[in-house]
A and B are shown apart, each in its own frame.
Chain A
């Protein structure tokens, strides 16, 4: 920053009453200044994003030589690592995206009415409600998930109630099941959905809804044609903020799931920490990242948010 500012200052002095050559130099320097300002950011990105990504990519094609010490791998450019991993962990990938999708849809269904109520109906309770939405964040992610473990436990009231109502059989448990994992993910990422939707709804001018009513829209049509489109940026942001971390989540599956709810995150965790198989962990990470990128790219294009002002 100092460097850039210094150049800017010097250039101004040189430019004052300077002959044409100096002017051109000044211009080229002026063009340069914005790029110089980018340097700290780019350096940050290079050190903390690009370098790890390169390392990750490099690790993903390494192999463990026979008899080598644990944690020792050599670069053999074995791209078949990817095929092996995809072959071995297809269901885990499918599950990750399925659970993330279900949780995102659920979170949206829960969040939208809530955000709507806070934005338009809460009145003086608005701030309190917002604080309540954020409040769970003050508790560690782990503890919140562990709390669900208690809530959904076999002899806790939820299971007792459902059993009493014959919704579930006497031997069925809620905990350690796919629904429990989806519930956990939904719960943990709910604020990420509520807040952006609230933020975009809060900016919707209520007079636009009056105008829609004036132009022959019933309340439902107004909601469909005006409120929802205007809150689209919030919906897109919320679904992304929920879906992306949810697809990579492993805590919920580890705490609330069973061996049939394993997600990619769990496999990465176990390959990395338990088995010390860095290449497989890297392959899975790269693949997860790439598939999320592709999915999100399609989604944003479909949602057409770039057209929203």
Chain B
């Protein structure tokens, strides 16, 4: 995000498109037609999804390339050379040519785009993709990603123990964490005029119409459920979910929550349309950095925040799995991981990166949003993996509440 145009207006616009998670929902729309067409070819009529079994030979040895699809502004970037320094270094070290594309701007849209091909066991033209926990879970469950050969990723042992045994990928056979982040209270301290500590603080009368929330139900409803004392990582019931949703409905209907359309909460926060939000940690750090305004505040609610991670995976039918594994291994080197973390400002999943950070940027060593404290980690929970039925039901109910 350090390579934005000078003109403030244009910058605002570009930023609106680039911001890692505050992406416009509309952008996903392009995928609708493509996905609609694709769903026809997949023969989505079978009641049980038969997992694709493509006959793909790994050509990594002869074909020294790796194709990586990631989210925008999610890798260290050098303004002057217009290159990604760590990726350059990877190419020099391994002789594998990496083509990097900021192709993923939304979990759902990306799934919509590639699902048809994956279902047929076709190469989607990517060897590494990065998706959030719940979507990664769906990919693993549906057999759309390849099993990793840990022998090729010795550095995988550097993965933070807390992330090693996730419910959607027991033993991390199919995925490795790229970065993590929190959802919690985000606000502009000067405009609010006080500190916000709990989710209920958002419902203060003077914030009416000035509150925005995320359109990811796991984060927004998740935080509301935690406020209600539900452990979102445990086996909660549909009632628990609905109670959280009811609270959301109440606040939306009363006009307390200004609007949850699209994923533009950060923009609303920046433009002043909203002054408090349920938002993501990285976005707020980014806003603080870019606006040079320390009033952008992120805090975990007293009842706790949600923790999410994005995960590196190798899609089915990728003929360069070994190259992909080499890439993962490289980014699990603590120094490389610290270099990336210093740029992207998200929670670094690699043990040893904190020590490496001393040499790269000592000022970030104590940033709790990159290297979380034990206390913080105790306060956050990951949303448990939902069954397909639950996911469909909850998603639909949430979309209805936010007016879609």
Q: B395: which A residues are within 8 A, CB to CB?
A: 274-276
Contact of B392 among A171, A173, A275 (CB under 8 A): A275
Stretch from A29-37, A110-118, A139-147 forming part of the interface with B: A139-147
Q: Are B388 and A52 in contact (CB under 8 A)?
A: no
Contact with A along B258-277 (1 / 0, CB 8 A): 11111010010001110000
Q: Are B46 and A269 in contact (CB under 8 A)?
A: no
Residue in chain A with minimal CB distance to B116: A71
Q: Are A176 and B25 in contact (CB under 8 A)?
A: no
Residue in chain B with minimal CB distance to A257: B261
Q: A276: which B residues are within 8 A, CB to CB?
A: 108, 111, 392, 395
Contact with B along A263-296 (1 / 0, CB 8 A): 0001111111111111001100100000000000
Q: Are A75 and B45 in contact (CB under 8 A)?
A: yes
Q: Flag whether B403 is at the interface (Cβ < 8 A).
A: yes
Contact with A along B1-44 (1 / 0, CB 8 A): 00000000100110011000000111111011001110110001
Contact of B26 among A145, A259, A262 (CB under 8 A): A145
CA distance A259 to B402 in the complex (A): 6
Q: A272: which B residues are within 8 A, CB to CB?
A: 32, 35-36, 112
CA distance A272 to B34 in the complex (A): 11
Q: Flag whether B252 is at the interface (Cβ < 8 A).
A: yes
List residues 126-141 of chain B with CB under 8 A from any CB of chain A. 138, 141
Q: Are A262 and B45 in contact (CB under 8 A)?
A: no
CA distance A155 to B188 in the complex (A): 15
Q: Flag whether A24 is at the interface (Cβ < 8 A).
A: no
* Chain B nearest CB, measured from A119 CB (Å): 33
Q: B234: which A residues are within 8 A, CB to CB?
A: none
Contact of A56 among B36, B261, B273 (CB under 8 A): B36
Q: Flag whether A154 is at the interface (Cβ < 8 A).
A: yes
CA distance A211 to B25 in the complex (A): 55
Q: A153: which B residues are within 8 A, CB to CB?
A: 271-273
Q: Flag whether B222 is at the interface (Cβ < 8 A).
A: no
Tally chain A residues at the interface, Cβ within 8 Å: 61
* Chain B nearest CB, measured from A4 CB (Å): 30
Q: Are A277 and B272 in contact (CB under 8 A)?
A: no
Q: Are B404 and A266 in contact (CB under 8 A)?
A: yes
CA distance A253 to B26 in the complex (A): 10
* Chain B nearest CB, measured from A8 CB (Å): 36
When A275-B399, A277-B396 are in contact, do A259 and B40 touch as well, CB less than 8 Å? no
When A62-B45, A254-B261 are in contact, do A274 and B40 touch as well, CB less than 8 Å? no
Q: Which residues of A contact B (CB under 8 A)?
A: 51-52, 55-56, 58-59, 62, 64-75, 142-143, 145-147, 149-150, 153-156, 171, 173, 175-176, 250-251, 253-255, 257-262, 266-278, 281-282, 285
Q: Which residues of B contact A (CB under 8 A)?
A: 9, 12-13, 16-17, 24-29, 31-32, 35-37, 39-40, 44-49, 106, 108-109, 111-112, 115, 119, 138, 141-142, 209, 252, 258-262, 264, 267, 271-273, 387-389, 391-392, 395-396, 399, 402-404
15 new A-B pairs (CB below 8 Å) besides A64-B392, A255-B26, A266-B403?
Answer: A52-B36, A59-B44, A62-B44, A67-B389, A71-B49, A71-B142, A142-B24, A173-B209, A250-B26, A262-B403, A269-B29, A269-B32, A273-B108, A274-B395, A278-B44
